[in-house]
């Protein structure tokens, strides 16, 4: 039996649904990860950088602030609209609605093509990676960032899944095999092999810790439920009472982590994979 992949329009609609919340709650927290990635690239003045699956600019905006000439693309129009608002004081950042699996861009156009939790969430990640390689100049770099090791290591996701399981034991959660899309390239060796198979050389994968401070259970709920359509689908199948129960469990989990304080720092290992186009 084969599983039918969602259509481009279904994917667009799913991300359009979460885009306002994503911009409000997720992008501000992901900016720190964007800065971490840029520290490894020396992508400043004179660098042409493409951000694929850009969301509302967690990588594109700090790159433009460092002086890079940035094009940010995303499938969801609302993401691009929100990004444009965030970048209104950055004339060196352009934003376009575009399908990352079929980039409407010329070959050999960018010094760097990068994506944070974007291309690695595509149902056909290989197609997205191939497009990134195609539009990168010879000698340029392709950068992919995604969760490392698995759901059980990523507190950003694990706290939510654990709270749902505790409060609603029969709630439908994604299966572990195959893993949810955000974790399809979580194994650093598999990610490295994927980039080598795409024709890149000098491929390295570094695992870093992405530390996210959530202020309270309510804040974390807003963050995680806006972070991905998977979370939206899970919440949609819970009653109002069940959602309240999950939030109560989350409150207890966060307070246990932080010696009674309402917020906590959640840590998730992230792959930063960098390869060079020959």
- Residue 137 falls inside a structural domain: yes
- Is 47 within a domain? yes
Determine the average pLDDT of the residues in 199-205.
98
Residue 3 lies inside a defined structural domain of this protein: no
Mean pLDDT of 206-221: 98
Supply the Cα-derived Rg of the chain in whole angstroms: 18
Whole-angstrom Cα distance, residue 106 to residue 215? Answer: 44
> For residue 41, is pLDDT > 50?
yes
Split at pLDDT 50, 70, 90, the class of 42 is confident
Kindly report the pTM of this predicted structure. Answer: 0.95
* DSSP β-bridge partners for residue 110: 136
Q: Does residue 1 surpass a pLDDT of 50?
A: no
CATH of residue 132: 3.40.50.150
Classify residue 1: in a domain, yes or no. Answer: no
The pLDDT of residue 176 is 85
With 50 as the cut, is the pLDDT of residue 2 above it? no
Name the domain count of the chain: 1
181-to-44, 112, 190 alpha-carbon distances in Å: 31, 24, 14
Quickly list DSSP for the chain. --PPPPPHHHHHHHHHHHHHHIIIIIHHHHHHHHHHHHHTTT--TT-EEEEET-TTTTTHHHHHHTT-EEEEEES-HHHHHHHHHHTTT-TTEEEEE--TTS--S-SS-EEEEEEESSGGGSTTHHHHHHHHHHHEEEEEEEEEEEE-S-GGG-HHHHHHHHHHHHH-TT-----SSSPPGGGTT-SHHHHHHHHHHTT-EEEEEEEEEEEEEE-SHHHHHHHHHHS-HHHHHHHHTS-HHHHHHHHHHHHHHHHHHTTT-S-EEEEEEEEEEEEE--
Residue 208 has pLDDT above 70, yes or no: yes
Proportion of the chain above pLDDT 90, given as a percent: 95
Residue 101 has pLDDT above 90, yes or no: yes
Question: Residue 107: its pLDDT value, please?
Answer: 98
Mean pLDDT along residues 241-258: 98
In a domain, 70, yes or no: yes
Instruction: Show the domain range for 236.
Output: 8-276
Q: In this predicted model, what pLDDT tens digit does every residue of 108-137 receive, in sequence order?
A: 999 999 999 999 999 999 999 999 999 999
Instruction: Measure the CA angle with vertex 141, ends 136 and 145; round to 5°.
Output: 110
**pLDDT at 87 > cutoff 60:** yes
Q: Is 251 exposed, middle or buried (CB count within 10 Å of its CB: 0-12, 13-18, 19+)?
A: middle
Position 264 in a domain: yes
Examine residue 2 and state whether it is found in any structural domain, yes or no. Answer: no
The structure tokens listed for 180 are: 């949810």
Is residue 181 in a domain?
A: yes
CB atoms within 10 A of CB 245: 17
Q: Give the pLDDT score at 3.
A: 53
Q: Which residues contact 188 (CB under 8 A, 6 or more apart)?
A: 148, 149, 205, 207, 271, 273
């Amino acid at each position: 039996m084969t599983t039918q992949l969602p259509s481009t329009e279904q994917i667009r609609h799913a991300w359009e649904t979460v885009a306002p919340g994503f911009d409000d709650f997720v992008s501000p927290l992901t900016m720190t990860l964007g800065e971490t990635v840029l520290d490894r690239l020396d992508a400043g003045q004179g660098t042409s950088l493409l951000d694929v699956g850009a969301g509302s600019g967690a990588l594109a905006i700090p790159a433009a602030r460092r002086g890079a000439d940035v094009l940010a693309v995303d499938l969801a129009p609302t993401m691009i609209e929100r990004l444009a608002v965030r970048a209104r004081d950055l004339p060196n950042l352009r934003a376009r609605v575009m399908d990352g699996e079929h980039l409407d861009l010329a070959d050999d156009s960018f010094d760097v093509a990068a994506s944070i939790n974007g291309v690695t969430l595509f149902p056909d990640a290989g197609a997205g990676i191939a497009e990134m390689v195609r539009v990168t100049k010879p000698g340029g770099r392709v950068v992919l960032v995604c969760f490392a090791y698995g759901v059980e290591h990523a507190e950003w996701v694990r706290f939510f899944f654990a709270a749902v399981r505790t409060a609603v034991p029969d709630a439908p959660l994604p299966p572990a095999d195959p893993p949810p899309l955000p974790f399809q390239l979580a194994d650093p060796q598999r990610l490295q092999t994927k980039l080598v198979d795409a024709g890149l050389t000098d491929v390295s994968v570094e695992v870093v810790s992405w530390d996210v401070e959530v202020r309270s259970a309510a804040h974390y709920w807003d963050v995680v439920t806006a972070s991905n359509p998977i979370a939206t689908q899970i919440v949609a199948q819970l009653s109002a009472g069940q959602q309240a129960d999950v939030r109560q469990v989350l409150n207890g989990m966060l307070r246990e982590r932080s010696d009674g304080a309402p917020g906590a720092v959640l840590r998730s290992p992230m792959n930063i994979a960098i390869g060079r186009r020959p």
